[in-house]
Amino acid sequence: MIDCLFMCRQLGANATFEGIKKAGHLVHLERPCVYNRRLKRFLASLQHEEDGAPKK
């Protein structure tokens, strides 16, 4: 997790980190429902930015 936080700092203010508990390297297989919810939220945020709507 420390590497992720370092990477977020390097990427700048637009970078985000989403940790999913009880999952390893295959998070999309180990926790598919949680992964899909996070992915949908992320993709929706991109659409809102494109539309000019403020991010939540």
Q: CB–CB of 7/19 below 8 Å?
A: no
Is 15 inside a domain boundary? no
pLDDT of residue 1: 62
Is 26 inside a domain boundary? yes
Is 51 inside a domain boundary? yes
Is 8 inside a domain boundary? no
Structural domain range at position 27: 21-56
Number of domains, the chain: 1
pLDDT of residue 27: 94
**First-to-last CA distance in the chain?**
24
pLDDT tens-digit readout, 1-56? 668 778 877 888 777 788 899 999 999 999 999 999 999 999 998 887 767 655 55
Q: CB–CB of 11/5 below 8 Å?
A: no
pLDDT of residue 41: 93
Is 28 inside a domain boundary? yes
pLDDT of residue 20: 92
